[in-house]
């Protein structure tokens, strides 16, 4: 009987004295996580793009052009004589408003000076201003990923909002 007891006690003592190893958390591959997020964002962007295209197709009075960086724009007033476009470092005086794609005004007319490529502005508008000449007015339709994306502006513009902005380039200063 003592022998049987030793058979159980000795292994128990050996195991009880061994150091306990902490469980490691299950690791997710950072690369695969980012790939999943990128793929999901691509799907969301395609859905948003289709919605914008359908909306613009209904507006038969306006001829929207597509930029190479993913926003749409239409000239409201175009200058065919002037040849000067703003370039990096130029200070421009602009006036613009921001609304949702249904036309509900979010920010009323804002007039300000803006230094090309040196100040913060909605990314699509930063690029759009470079398409303009003094005195021109353009309406931009901006998908969320070219505006405030998944964070919004922290004020009136929510997450994943497609925006519409009409911008006038009042003056170009050196």
Could you tell me which CATH class the domain 63-173 is placed in?
A: alpha beta
Burial (CB < 10 A; 0-12, 13-18, 19+), residue 79, is: middle
pLDDT at 17 > cutoff 60: no
Closest to 93 in 3D by CA, of 12, 27, 32, 174: 174
Given a contact cutoff of 8 angstroms between Cβ atoms, the answer to whether 79 and 154 are in contact is no
- Distance (Å) of CA 19 to CA 8, 14, 16: 20, 10, 8
What are the tens digits of pLDDT across the range 97-150? Answer: 999 999 999 999 999 999 999 988 999 999 999 999 999 999 999 999 999 988
What are the tens digits of pLDDT across the range 25-56? Answer: 666 667 788 888 889 889 999 999 999 999 99
Q: In the chain, where are the structural domains located?
A: 63-173
Confidence band, pLDDT 50/70/90 cuts, at residue 23: confident
User: To the nearest whole number, what is the mean pLDDT of the chain?
Assistant: 88
pLDDT at 15 > cutoff 70: no
Higher pLDDT, 61 or 30: 61
Q: What is the per-residue pLDDT for 5?
A: 61
Given a contact cutoff of 8 angstroms between Cβ atoms, the answer to whether 72 and 52 are in contact is yes
Please state the pTM of the whole predicted model: 0.78
């Amino acid at each position: 009987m003592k022998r049987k007891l030793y058979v159980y006690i000795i292994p128990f003592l050996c195991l009880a004295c061994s150091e306990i190893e902490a469980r490691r958390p299950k690791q997710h591959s950072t690369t695969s996580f980012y790939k999943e997020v990128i793929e999901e964002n691509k799907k969301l962007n395609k859905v948003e793009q289709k919605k914008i295209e359908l909306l613009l197709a209904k507006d038969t009075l306006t001829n929207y052009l597509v930029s190479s960086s993913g926003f749409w724009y239409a000239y409201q007033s175009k200058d065919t004589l002037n040849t000067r476009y703003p370039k990096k470092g130029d200070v421009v005086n602009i006036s613009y408003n921001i609304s949702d794609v249904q036309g509900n005004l979010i920010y009323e007319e804002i007039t300000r000076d803006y230094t090309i490529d040196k100040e913060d502005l909605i990314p699509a508008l930063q690029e759009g201003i470079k398409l303009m000449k003094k005195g021109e007015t353009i309406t931009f339709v901006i998908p969320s990923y070219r505006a405030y994306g998944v964070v919004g502006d922290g004020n009136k513009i929510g997450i994943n909002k497609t925006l519409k902005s009409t911008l006038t380039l009042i003056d170009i200063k050196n």
